[in-house]
Amino acid sequence: MRNKTELSSILLLSGWLCFIFLAGCKSTRQISTAGSVRAKEAGEFFLSVQKQAFRYQTFAARTRMELNLPANEFSSRVDIKMVKDSAFQLSVLPLLGVEVFRIEFSTDSVKIIDRMNKRYLAESYAGLKGSTPIGFNFYNLQALFTNHIFVPGERNLSSRQYSRFTLRQDGAVTKAEIKDAMKLLYAFKADSEEKLLSTNVTEPSERYALQWSYTDFRPTDEQVFPMLMEAQLLDDGTPAGEIKLYFSRVQRDIPVNLDFSIPGKYKRITFAEIIKGLNRK
């Protein structure tokens, strides 16, 4: 890490991912929605989307990440390792393959190691949300990183949930929409082959939105995978931050080690301390 700007960019990445988790994965209760009439039945559509989705039990990838914020820009190699429905890690290696940050999301908590400053964060989702009615959902964030459609706040998409979506056809693109109990709107777009092209989350006032898109699909182990993912935060339609992940190597169902041992001399900090420190910069 060469300077404080790069350090703050990595910390902002951590906070940015947590913001995605907070904004995009709130708890869900039963909501009645009516599906629009379309040529393909809802069941056939969702089964096809799930069939096209990337299938794996473990996942490992090498990426180049570009983080663009109004006051900071940062580029780094980021290695991703995942054990499905258990945990996944992002290892940030900006210089000569030396890890400076490791971020782990598991089913109940988020952890971050800052090797440059010999400190770490370990927070449960319950601790992060405080008294707000937000139900963190690891499975939704996992779905974003692996090009899967999901039901907000749920672990899996099942046939009994199909009727909760509204389906709309726009040429070759199908849009599936669902609202959660907090009235956030989740919109998933798929092409004529039912490959998922994007996931958008918009809050009720429509001021803030998250757009997560998938492009550059390439064959990977007899499947296709989007080798470019772009996540963008919008504030009144204006970009407030963007992450691009350029994948150069994707492997599935290989042994992965999700070690997250923390050296004894590292200082524990809180997410609130990170945000406070960034606000001073």
pLDDT of residue 5: 41
Spell out the residues 6+ positions from residue 89 whose beta carbon is closer than 8 angstroms to its own. Answer: 80, 81, 82, 102, 103, 104, 105, 258, 260
pLDDT of 132 over the 90 cut? no
Please indicate, yes or no, whether the overall pTM of this predicted structure exceeds 0.75: yes
The token pair at 203 is 């809050």
**How far is residue 71's CA from residue 58's CA, in Å, rounded to a whole number?**
36
pLDDT of residue 228: 98
Q: How far is CA 259 from CA 83, 102, 142, 262, in A?
A: 12, 10, 18, 9
pLDDT in tens, 62-113: 999 998 877 778 889 999 999 999 999 999 998 788 999 999 999 988 899 9
pLDDT in tens, 232-266: 888 888 888 889 999 999 999 999 999 999 999 99
The lowest-confidence range among 16-25, 46-55, 96-105, 108-117 is 16-25
- Residue 214: name the closest of 198, 195, 225 by CA: 198
pLDDT of 173 over the 70 cut? yes
Q: Residues 152-156: what's their mean pLDDT?
A: 88
Q: Residues 37-41: what's their mean pLDDT?
A: 54
pLDDT of residue 241: 85
Name, of 35-44, 56-65, 269-278, the range with top average pLDDT.
56-65
More confident residue, 258 or 13: 258
Q: Which fold does the domain 4-279 belong to in CATH?
A: outer membrane lipoprotein receptor (LolB), chain A (2.50.20)
Strand 267-269 to 119-124 pairing: parallel
pLDDT of residue 96: 80
pLDDT of residue 207: 87
Q: Cβ of 93: how many Cβ atoms within 10 Å?
A: 16
**DSSP per-residue codes, 14-77:** HHHHHHHHHHH----------PPP-SS-HHHHHHHHHHHSPP-SEEEEEEEEEEE-SS-EEEEE
More confident residue, 54 or 30: 54
More confident residue, 8 or 191: 191
pLDDT of residue 134: 45
Chain CA centroid to CA 56, Å:
17
Helix (H) or strand (E) holding 92: strand 87-93
Query: Residue 223 burial by CB count (10 A; 0-12/13-18/19+): exposed, middle or buried?
Result: middle
**How far is residue 46's CA from residue 257's CA, in Å, rounded to a whole number?**
33
pLDDT of 182 over the 60 cut? yes
Which amino acid appears at position 137 of this protein?
N
Q: Cβ of 170: how many Cβ atoms within 10 Å?
A: 8
pLDDT of 159 over the 80 cut? yes
Mean pLDDT of the chain: 82
8 Å CB contact between 138 and 106: yes
pLDDT of 6 over the 80 cut? no
3 state SS of 263: coil
pLDDT of residue 236: 86
The number of residues making up the chain comes to 281
Q: Residues 130-147: what's their mean pLDDT?
A: 73
pLDDT of residue 240: 83
Q: Which parts of the chain fold into alpha helices (H)?
A: 4-24, 42-52, 125-129, 138-146, 271-279
